[in-house]
Structure 1
Amino acid sequence: MTIDSDFIAGFEVPLHRSLAEPILLGGAPRNVAILNGTLAAVVGLGLQLWIPGLVLWLVGHSLAVWGARLDPQFLQVFARHIKHRPLLDV
């Protein structure tokens, strides 16, 4: 019986890849993609401003994809950042 230094018997658990990766729609976080699509649909369909609605969706989705490439949890980080009080402001 040999003891492998990397693994201890009984303490090895397989981890599925979907538990470690963020949920993205088209490269953007799911909640941002849904909110952005809904807002663009309201502008495009509800107000019948087709071009501004399309531009709003394109710009919003591009910014969300860019942010998700830098950090997939950028929304949680930004929300926590907003909650903190400024340190050096008078």
Structure 2
Amino acid sequence: MAEPASTLSHSRIHRALSRPNLLMGADRELVLLTGLASVILIFVVLTWYAALFGFAVWLVTLAALRMMAKADPLMRRVYLRHVSYRAYYRPTSTPWRRY
């Protein structure tokens, strides 16, 4: 016999615990890494051209990262896990493959 619904326990899951960690709409670590690389480029070369180029590179990279996060917010982690399993799961199978 089925139990009544009132005996079931409910747990609240906060949205902050289940959402991916994004910054400006893209993966947080990649945004900070590209921003750091652009700032290093700007302050090492110290010209207006380098500043414009570094800012433009950062904006283009940020746009690409945002498109990537819009497709799948966890794409970086999925790709890193895929690369780590590459030795175990070959992309193609063949009858001459050694086990």
Please state which band the TM-score falls in when normalised by the shorter chain: 0.7 to 0.9
The one-letter code of the counterpart of 1:38 is: L
Q: Give the deviation of 1:82 after TM superposition.
A: 2.0
> How many residue pairs were aligned?
86
Paired with 1:75 and 1:41, the residues of 2 have a C-alpha distance of 23
Provide the alpha-carbon RMSD of the alignment.
Answer: 2.1
How high is the sequence identity, in percent, across the aligned residues?
A: 24
CA–CA distance in structure 1, aligned partners of residues 65 and 7 of structure 2 = 42
How much does 1:21 deviate?
A: 0.5
Aligned positions of 1:1-90 closer than 5 A: 3-4=4-5, 8-9=7-8, 11-48=9-46, 49-83=50-84, 84-85=86-87, 86-88=90-92
Q: Distance in 1 between matches of 2:54 and 2:93?
A: 38
Instruction: Measure, in 2, the Cα distance between the counterparts of 1:28 and 1:37.
Output: 12
Deviation at 1:54, TM superposition (A): 0.9
Question: Any unmatched runs of 5+ in structure 2?
Answer: 95-99
Distance 1:88 1:33, change over 3 A: same
Higher relative contact order (CA 8 A, sep 6+): 2
AA of the residue aligned to 1:39:
A
TM-score, length-scaled by structure 1: 0.82
Q: Determine the C-alpha separation between the residues in 1 that align with 2:58 and 2:28.
A: 14
Larger radius of gyration between Structure 1 and Structure 2 = 2
